[in-house]
Amino acid sequence: MNKIGSGFEPLLDVKSTAEALSLHPKTLMRMAREHRIPAFRVGRYWLFRASLIDAWLKEQLERGQANFAA
């Protein structure tokens, strides 16, 4: 059996991602709808890959846009 990588990365839901970013869940969903944050929509649920959120956050901090919820 040839195994490539370690499998799928777990996806985060709105609640856990919002808590990690100190955002209100509705703010996070609005940002996802506006494509301001990397997200996936599965049916009616927004899901977030932790590695993409981490990379996005680092980019925001490098740009000096730490106040990204405004």
Q: Between the CA of residue 11 and those of 40, 42, 63, what are the distances in Å?
A: 9, 11, 26
61 in a structural domain: no
4 in a structural domain: no
Per-residue pLDDT of the chain (70 residues; tens, 9 = 90+): 445 556 788 899 999 999 999 999 999 999 999 999 999 999 999 999 999 999 999 998 888 866 655 4
6 in a structural domain: no
The model's pTM is: 0.78
Range of the domain at 44: 11-56
Residue showing tokens 């709105």? 14
The number of distinct structural domains making up the chain is: 1
